Amino acid sequence: MATTTATLALSSVDLLSDELALSTTCTLTKTTTATGVEDTTGLNRKKITSTAKGTASGQVTLYTADDFAAIPYLYIKNLATTAGHRIYVYDDTTTGDPIQFQLDAGDWGFIPMHGDKTYSAYASNNPTSIEFMVIGQDQ
Amino acid sequence: MATTTAAVTLTSDLLSDNMSVSASTTCMKAGTTADGLDMMEYGYIDIVTGDQFDLLGSDDSTGSLGNPVSGVMANKANKVYIKNHSTDETYYVSIMLDAQAIGKLYGGDWMFIPWSATDDDKDIEITASGGTNKICYALFHQGKTLVAS
């Protein structure tokens, strides 16, 4: 069985009056079991060239609905270095394509998803590079 | 300015070679790389089954849990951390943004997201399943509108 872990560290020495040092680790497992997940899309790096929602050309599909069994874990990072160069991640399954996340330059996110929605991304600037990976259990 | 760093490391042996992916970001205010987020809210609470609660409210009304986190300034660089501290692996919480499911945290799982609070409806909502779930959450932000008593 594979062992996949995700560790988060939140730290600051000057946000609070005392040092902030929060660290947590979770092992990615198949739903309701202690067995580790076995599949991944691998790490992807792509250029987003679309600057509008619903413009399929130039958008990047991060995850396709039901591609993995619940729970697929999504890691995303905006590789831009200029503030304001944002990546918009939206739900391409639900009517109206609601935006779920906005990542400014350098931002990253880690999201255990329900897995039943397709997520796509467009950007404020053409091109904007994104790095992403889904880890879970194929079905 | 405060300097707050969020770092993630993903490691696995599920590939033919070991995988290790790391990312780190300094949490900045919107539209700048020179001024860090300087405010924080932190909570550790039980979420009972049966109802959907506002964990973090994006408008000026107090959330259902009675927490003081409200009025987060729209379109700013809010960052949210949520962890499910339940030890039963069948317990989970669903995380929603404006009634749209965005996450599902089983016992031990965590998430870290930039919170796109684009309008008053973009509350972060939570529903517990399996039993009472113990949740830890943190919000890093750059200011909010206080509610007059």
Give the pLDDT score at B63. Answer: 47
Nearest residue to A26 via CA among B126, B112, B142: B112
Encoding tokens for residue A66? Answer: 């039901």
| Contact flag A71-B106 (C-beta cutoff 8 Å) | yes
Number of DSSP helices (H) and strands (E) in chain A, helices first: 0, 11
Query: Mean pLDDT over all residues of chain A?
Result: 94
Write the CB contacts of B83 (distance below 8 Å, at least 6 apart in sequence): A24, B105, B108, B109, B110, B111, B135, B136, B137
pLDDT tens per residue across span A76-104? 999 999 999 999 999 999 999 999 999 99
Q: Is residue B23 part of a domain?
A: no
Considering only alpha carbons, which residue of chain B is nearest residue A131? B23
- Band (pLDDT 50/70/90 cuts) for residue B64 is very low
User: A2 in helix, strand or coil?
Assistant: coil
Residue B124: which residues within 8 A CB-CB, separation 6 or more? B54, B55, B56, B58, B80, B95, B96, B97, B115
Q: How many residues make up chain B in this entry?
A: 149
CATH number at residue A74: 2.60.120.510
Q: What is the mean pLDDT of residues B18-27?
A: 95
Contacts of A30 in chain B (CB under 8 A): none
B113 touches B102 (CB < 8 A): yes
B125's tokens: 């909502």
Tell me the whole-structure pTM to 2 decimals: 0.93
Q: Select from B38, B100, B112 the Cβ nearest to the Cβ of A91.
A: B100
Rounded Cα distance, B97 and A110, in Å: 15
How many Cβ atoms are within 10 Å of B73's Cβ, its own excluded? Answer: 15
Report the pLDDT value the prediction gives residue B73, as an integer from 0 to 100.
Answer: 57
pLDDT confidence of residue B74: 65
Residue range of the domain that includes B88? 39-141
Does B87 reach chain A within 8 Å, measured CB to CB? no
Mean pLDDT of B1-19: 94
CA distance B149 to chain A (A): 26
* Residue B148 belongs to a domain: no
* pLDDT at residue B83 greater than cutoff 60: yes
**Position B69 confidence tier, pLDDT thresholds 50, 70, 90:** very low
User: Which CATH number goes with the domain that contains B107?
Assistant: 2.60.120.10
pLDDT at B123 (0 to 100): 86
Q: What is the pLDDT of residue B147?
A: 61
Whether residue A32 is contained in a domain is answered as no
DSSP, collapsed to helix, strand or coil, labels residue A130 as: strand
Contact A60, A89 (CB under 8 A): no
> Does residue A11 fall inside a structural domain?
no
ipTM of the complex: 0.94
Question: B34 vs A83, B27, B29, CA distance in Å?
Answer: 9, 10, 8
Mutate: best of B102, B115, B122, B140, partner A, most A CBs <10 A: B102
Residue A3 lies in a domain: no
Q: For position B67, what pLDDT does the model report?
A: 45
Residue B65: pLDDT band with limits 50, 70, 90: very low
Total domains in the fold of chain B: 1
- In chain A, residues 99-138 whose CB comes closer than 8 Å to chain B: 99-114, 116-117, 131, 133, 135
Q: pLDDT band at B149, cuts 50/70/90?
A: low
Residue A7 lies in a domain: no
A22-59 as b/e: b if 16+ CB within 10 A: eebebebbbbbeeebbbbbbeeeebebbbbebeeeeeb
Which of A32, A82, A98 is opposite residue B98, by nearest beta carbon? A98
Chain A residues with CB under 8 Å of B12 CB are 2-5, 28, 40, 135
| Cα→Cα distances B83→A24, A26, A98, B115, B125, Å | 9, 10, 24, 15, 14
Would the CB atoms of B81 and A33 count as touching at under 8 Å?
no
pLDDT band at B119, cuts 50/70/90? confident
Given a cut of 80, is residue B97 above it in pLDDT?
yes
Number of domains in chain A: 1
Residue A21 lies in a domain: no
Between B127 and B33, the higher pLDDT residue? B127
Residue A49 resides in a domain: yes
Q: Is the pLDDT score of B4 beyond 80?
A: yes
The three-point CA angle A93-A98-A104 to 5° equals 120
